[in-house]
Amino acid sequence: MRHLVILVAVLLGALADPAFPAGTTHSLLMKGVAFEPRQITVHVGDALKWANQDIVAHTATAKDKSWDINVPAGRSGRVVMEAVGRFGYICRYHPNMTGEIIVEP
């Protein structure tokens, strides 16, 4: 039992260590057939969570095809940003819906 307590303490310490930073989750909306905000700056390891407030399905699809999230009406979808850069994205169903994610180190 003592070894289990020590193992848990070590694991909790590792999770709190700045060498293992926890990413932030950023909320975006799909509303009025538009992304809100249209542009966002985040860091590597951060998550983006799109909430679809429209009555139709949308996607958040990277123009370079590196990720594609399908979000039914009233639901949400999520992706973790893993690389530095500027990523344009669209809704495949509504190509006039565009956005950009700027990912910093």
Q: Which residue has the tokens 């190509």?
A: 95
Of the chain, the percentage scoring pLDDT greater than 70 comes to: 79
In whole angstroms, what separates CA 77 from the centre of its chain?
A: 8
Average pLDDT over every residue of 35-59: 98
CATH superfamily label, 23-104: Cupredoxins -  blue copper proteins (2.60.40.420)
Judge whether residue 74 has pLDDT over 70: yes
Judge whether residue 6 has pLDDT over 60: no
- Please give the Cα distance from 35 to 102 (Å, whole number): 15
- Please give the Cα distance from 38 to 97 (Å, whole number): 9
Average pLDDT over every residue of 57-77: 97
Average pLDDT over every residue of 7-26: 54
| Per-residue confidence band for 21, with pLDDT thresholds at 50, 70 and 90 | low
Cβ contacts of residue 89 below 8 Å, gap of 6+? 35, 60, 61, 62, 63, 98, 99, 100, 101
Q: Are 47 and 40 in contact (CB under 8 A)?
A: no
